[in-house]
Amino acid sequence: MLARWETLLVLALIGLVALGASLSPFFLTAGNFSNLIAALMEVAIMAMPMTLIIVAGEIDLSVESMAGLSSAILGFLWAAGVPLTIGIPVVLVVGALGGLLNGLIVARGGLPSLVVTLGTLALFRGMALIVLGPRGVSDFPTAFTQLGFGHVPGTLIPWPFVIFISLALVLGIVLHRTWVGRQVFAIGKNAETARFSGVRVTRVRISLFVLSGMVASLAGVILTSRLSSARADAGSGMTLTVATVVLLGGVNIFGGSGTIPGVALAVLCVAVMQNALRLASVTVEVQSIALGLLLILSVVIPTFAHQARSAVDRVRGGRHPPADPVARGEAAPS
């Protein structure tokens, strides 16, 4: 294989940092890095379970709405006088239940997750609107807003980054070093074979969606805290960025391969890119064009790299290309 996807991401990251540094003298300051990281943490946190879901051959489009529902319920409960020590656990349970709904319909009903989660994308957002309506709740205590806004004492590391790194470590170990992770890869490669090999496919799939729903509601809590405001439209459009980050991280959209370190690197790349574009005073609209292009390119480039590779192989040794024209090589460390 020509190069590991992660190596390419590191090179891209170095290039982007160099670009940012040439655009503005403020780019390479610790304060700027702290900001650019903090701005993408909700997306980064939701991207972690999304990585597992896409590796297992499914997708969860409803995460942005679950983040919104979580924000709406948290705001509603706080405005009704419920303390956050109760509100936050309630919201996480709601997230898990929403994920359970997705998981049950997809895994037990045998329906495509794309359409099911498109349905819950509308359903959860609608529930958020029903709960909170068009108003915003913003009189949260400082101790809570510090969670999204503040830094680890004595450093410029934002608290959400700590949460993200912990989640990445735990899910990275689970995915790449345990039997659970191997089951996820097995399901993504071939669910039927996995079933006959004794993998409880239905149970694993449902668990993944529950995890995704719960983490999405956690992201909603962090978003509420960072913006010091609970709104029903919180997180609108974030699914696009989450999917972009995961696919840019080298996860195969058809399932079966992908790595957590790759996705974490992609998070950094996108964060630096958005920051550099902002420093170059590129408008938000053009940034959304860039993000869309990036999403498509992150699938196109590996596909064609793979085709080029198998063409080279064929010329060299007369080897036959693999049956699956879009498989992305062995991205998972074994």
Partner 1 sequence: MAEPAVAAGLGAARPRGSWVSAFARQRELSLVAIMVVLGALVSIAAPQFLTFSNITAVAVLASIYAIASVGEALVVITRNIDLSVEATIGVVAYCVASVLERHVFDAPAAIALGIGIGLVLGMANGVIVTLLRVPSIVATLGTLSIFRGLDYVIAGSHQVPLAGLPPGFTDPARTNLFGVLPVFVLVALGVVVLGTIILRSTRFGRQVYAVGSNPEAAAILGIPARLVEFAAFSVCGLLAGVAGVMWVMFFGTINGTAGTGIVLSIVAAVVVGGVSTLGGSGTIAGAALGALFLGFTANALPLVGLSQFWLQAIYGLVILVAVSVDAIILRRLQRATAERRAR
| Shortest Cβ 37–partner 1 spacing (Å) | 22
Site residues (vs partner 1, CB under 8 A): 59, 105, 109-112, 114-116, 118-127, 129-130, 133, 239-240, 243-244, 247, 253-254, 283, 285-289, 291-293, 295-296, 299-300, 303, 325-326
Task: Pick between residue 280 and residue 286 the one whose CB is nearest to partner 1.
Answer: 286
First-residue to last-residue Cα distance in the chain: 16
Query: Tokens 């960072």 label which residue?
Result: 226
37 close to 161: Cβ distance less than 8 angstroms: yes
Q: Mark 125-141 as b/e (b = at least 16 C-beta within 10 Å).
A: bebbeebbeeebbeebe
Task: Pick between residue 89 and residue 112 the one whose CB is nearest to partner 1.
Answer: 112
Q: Which of 125, 133, 152 is nearest to 66 (CA)?
A: 125
What is the crossing angle of helices 179-189 and 41-55, to 10°?
Answer: 70
| Shortest Cβ 285–partner 1 spacing (Å) | 4
Task: Pick between residue 118 and residue 156 the one whose CB is nearest to partner 1.
Answer: 118
Give the single-character DSSP code of 151.
B
Burial of 4 (0-12, 13-18, 19+ CB in 10 A): middle
Task: Pick between residue 286 and residue 311 the one whose CB is nearest to partner 1.
Answer: 286
| Shortest Cβ 189–partner 1 spacing (Å) | 17
Amino acid making up residue 169: L
| Shortest Cβ 259–partner 1 spacing (Å) | 19
| Shortest Cβ 296–partner 1 spacing (Å) | 4
Q: Mark 273-303 as b/e (b = at least 16 C-beta within 10 Å).
A: bbbbbbbeeeeeeeeeeebeebbeebbeebe
| Shortest Cβ 277–partner 1 spacing (Å) | 12
Task: Pick between residue 222 and residue 248 the one whose CB is nearest to partner 1.
Answer: 248
Task: Pick between residue 241 and residue 259 the one whose CB is nearest to partner 1.
Answer: 241
